[in-house]
Amino acid sequence: MEKTVQLYEGKAKKVYATEDENLCIVSYKDDATAFNGLKKGTIAQKGIVNNRMTNMMMQLLEKQGVPTHFVKELSDRDTVVKKVKIVPLEVIIRNVSAGSFAKRYGVEEGIPFDEPTIEFSYKNDDLGDPLINDYHALALKLATKEEIELIKKYAFKVNDVLKAYFLTLGVKLIDFKLEFGKTAEGQIVLADEISPDTCRFWDAKTNEKLDKDRFRRDMGGVEDAYKEIFKRVTGD
């Protein structure tokens, strides 16, 4: 499988067409941004970590009954995925208070919830990805009622699977962001990535941050954090 034309360049990935109209190749970059692109940088080897880690997570989730866009890992940075139309919703699940939740509601980070929470943001950079609820998403025709219900069901399933998996690696899954897409046949599948860019991972013993918050917050040790989570996931 080979890349033909570039279809899209995002903040962290490029997407290429292939000879097969139903398949794309995603190519992971080392570029990192935060705060809707205001902060820019690179994280050495991030593209490799995020590509390989995402593919492992997608395969684990497929086995547990969550359909995904994953088809085949081609190389360290490149992966074949099903061509989908991305549903313009960022789906955020939280197990522990952190980030914008802590800030918005004036609570400390690190308070575990009895039940996971879910929220949506409208994926629109010009508007700064505003928070949105199911009714607004329906009004804006971003997805159908059935699709939104399915997305919520899959998102909580992803949380159950990944929370348990990361705990076996001595990692607490604090929160994460998912994106879903619609295939040519109209199937809703998990798309985008599952990586330290899109999840908060804290060491279970020390609460050390092993994710992109180290970049967002200028904490240092960014590359080492990506390497550490990669080591726990792959053993490499």
Closer residue to ligand TMP, CB minimum distance, 24 or 174? 174
Closer residue to ligand TMP, CB minimum distance, 37 or 186? 37
Q: Report the residue from 13, 46, 52, 200 that binds ligand TMP according to the rule CB under 6 A.
A: 200
Taking the complex as a whole, the smallest distance from the CB of residue 129 to ligand TMP amounts, in Å, to 6
User: Per rule CB under 6 A, is residue 175 in the interface with ligand TMP?
Assistant: yes
Dist. CA 96–CA 129, nearest whole Å:
22
Closer residue to ligand TMP, CB minimum distance, 74 or 134? 134
User: Per rule CB under 6 A, is residue 100 in the interface with ligand TMP?
Assistant: yes
- How is the chain classified by DSSP, letter by letter? ----SEEEE-SSEEEEE-SSTTEEEEEE-SEEEETTTTEEEE-TTHHHHHHHHHHHHHHHHHHTT--BSEEEE-SSSEEEEE--EEPSEEEEEEEE--HHHHHHHT--TT-EEEEEEEEEEE--GGGT--EE-HHHHHHTTSS-HHHHHHHHHHHHHHHHHHHHHHHHTTEEEEEEEEEEEE-TT--EEEES--STTTEEEEETTT--B-STHHHHTT-S-HHHHHHHHHHHHH--
Closer residue to ligand TMP, CB minimum distance, 26 or 98? 98
Choices 55-63, 110-118, 170-178, 218-226; region in contact with ligand TMP by CB under 6 A:
170-178
Taking the complex as a whole, the smallest distance from the CB of residue 203 to ligand TMP amounts, in Å, to 16
Closer residue to ligand TMP, CB minimum distance, 52 or 200? 200
Taking the complex as a whole, the smallest distance from the CB of residue 101 to ligand TMP amounts, in Å, to 6
Taking the complex as a whole, the smallest distance from the CB of residue 38 to ligand TMP amounts, in Å, to 11
Chain contacts with ligand TMP (rule: CB under 6 A)? 92, 98-101, 175-177, 198-200
